[in-house]
Structure 1
Amino acid sequence: MKADPNAQKLLLDLQGIDTTRQQLAHRRTHLPELAQLTELTRELSTLDGDRVRAQVEVDDLDRDITRLERDTEQVRARKDRDAARLAAGVGPARELEALQHEIESLDRRQRELEDAELELMERRETAQSTLTEAQRRLADCERRRAEAEASRDAALAEISEQEAAQTEARKPLVTQLPADLVTLYERIRDDAGGLGAAPVRGGRCGGCRLELSGSERARVKAAPPDEVVRCDECRRIMVRTAESGL
């Protein structure tokens, strides 16, 4: 294939733009914020589980405390009624004696319920501290996730802006180059991991970085300036410049 030497050099500019676009695409999918967000999502799931368990324990204790308060109030009310009847002194002595025994029994029951309630309230205080800490850690993780999301969005916006600029810069270059040269370059670039053309520098192919053999160096050196030469090893287009060392 033939192509004006200046067009071949423009091909290096096109490759530079495409390399930048490829780097931007790689950066888009490998932002550190993405890995950070993945880790934060796992951490949030764990912390939310801790919060839910702590909340369930507090709720269970609240329910038990409420039940004990209700039972205590019922015992206290019955004891007060019995005490009022006993104080009135109305009724047979045997019945009044039975009331006295019942009051004593209710008094013991009230103390048992109050002791149990006190124990539950102490446990509830500890459970509430655990819940508060779980909520604090969860809120802190959510804050860090929001910051990571904002950082990710800013980085993606910057990448999009740079990609748009590179795409605009590419258009005039493509129109200046021969269509068949662009077609060959694109095909090689697709097959060679994004690098379709590279300069020859110091007798080395800029694509595979290998030094040209004696015969290949002679072939490239003898090729007319408008001849599109390709590397025998990597098959990429080799563009000759003043730094080729041929």
Structure 2
Amino acid sequence: MKADPAVQRRLLDLAQVDAELSRVTHRRRTLPEIAEIAEAEKQFRAKQDALTTIETTLGDLNREVKRQETEIDQVRAREERDRKLLQGGSVGAKQLTDLEHELATLGRRRGALEDDLLELMERREAVEADIQHARVALDKAQEALSDAARRRDSALADLESTETKRTADRKLMTGQFPEPLLALYERVRKQKNIGAALLQSRRCGACRIELDRNAFAKVKESAADEVIQCEECGAIMVRTGESGL
């Protein structure tokens, strides 16, 4: 295949645009913010679960406190009834003894219940403090996730802008090439990712392999408008004054 040397040199500009587009695609897949978001989401879910667990514990304690308070109220009501009976003076000696014994028992029961209630309330206070800390931790996790998402979106927007501009540039550039030359370039690029590269100091700019003596002699003897491909990678080797010919 033959093509004007000046047209062949313009393949280097096209290859540069394609390289930039490839970098955009690669960067879009490998943005550090993507991994950061995944970790931030993991931390956020962990903080959410921790808060839910603590809130469940608080709910259980609140129910236990209410149950304990209800039982204490019942004991106090029983004590109040017994005291009124004693003060009324209308009970017999045996019933009086039974009431006094029951009051003593109720007093001990109330004391034990009140001690248990105090312990429950102290535990509840500690859990409420834990909830405050857990909510602060969750807020920080949410903030970290939101920040990473904002930075990802900003990076993606920049990449989108670059891709749009360079895609438009590429569309204009491809119209400058003969169809056979462009078809060869596109075919090689699809297979090897690089369609054309500079032959520089006897080295292919695509695969970076130096041409052996025979291959270099063949290139040197070729006409200037001959389209030459690298024997190793297939890329079109564009010859300029830097090629060492």
How big is the shift at 1:211? 1.4
**CA-to-partner distance for each residue in 1:5-57, whole Å, 9 max, x for gaps?**
11111111111000000000000011010000111122222222222221121
Q: Distance in 1 between matches of 2:90 and 2:156?
A: 88
Q: Distance in 2 between matches of 1:76 and 1:115?
A: 15
Q: Flag structure 1 segments of 5+ consecutive residues without an equivalent.
A: none
State the partner residue of 1:44.
44
State the partner residue of 1:195.
194
How big is the shift at 1:65? 0.8
* Runs of 4+ with >4 A deviation: none
**CA-to-partner distance for each residue in 1:147-187, whole Å, 9 max, x for gaps?**
10111111101100000000011111101111111110011
More displaced stretch, 68-77 vs 52-61: 52-61
Q: Distance in 2 between matches of 1:158 and 1:207?
A: 27
TM-score by length of 1: 0.96
Counterpart of 2:194 in 1: which secondary structure? coil
State the partner residue of 2:71.
71
Q: Flag structure 2 segments of 5+ consecutive residues without an equivalent.
A: none
Counterpart of 2:39 in 1: which secondary structure? helix
Q: Distance in 2 between matches of 1:225 and 1:80?
A: 116
State the partner residue of 1:222.
221
Q: Distance in 2 between matches of 1:126 and 1:43?
A: 24
Q: Distance in 2 between matches of 1:135 and 1:63?
A: 22
Name the amino acid aligned to 2:199: V
State the partner residue of 2:211.
212
Superposed, 1:179-194 pairs within 5 Å as 179-192=179-192, 194=193
State the partner residue of 2:159.
159
Q: Distance in 1 between matches of 2:37 and 2:57?
A: 30
**CA-to-partner distance for each residue in 1:130-157, whole Å, 9 max, x for gaps?**
2222222122111100110111111101
Q: Distance in 2 between matches of 1:79 and 1:104?
A: 9
Percent identical residues: 41
Counterpart of 1:176 in 2: which secondary structure? coil
More displaced stretch, 159-168 vs 57-66: 57-66
Q: Distance in 1 between matches of 2:166 and 2:172?
A: 11
How big is the shift at 1:224? 1.1
Over the aligned positions, Cα root-mean-square deviation in angstroms equals 1.2
1:11 equivalent in alignment to 2:17: no
Name the amino acid aligned to 2:92: P
More displaced stretch, 112-121 vs 125-134: 125-134
How big is the shift at 1:90? 2.1
Counterpart of 2:208 in 1: which secondary structure? coil
Q: Distance in 1 between matches of 2:211 and 2:29?
A: 36
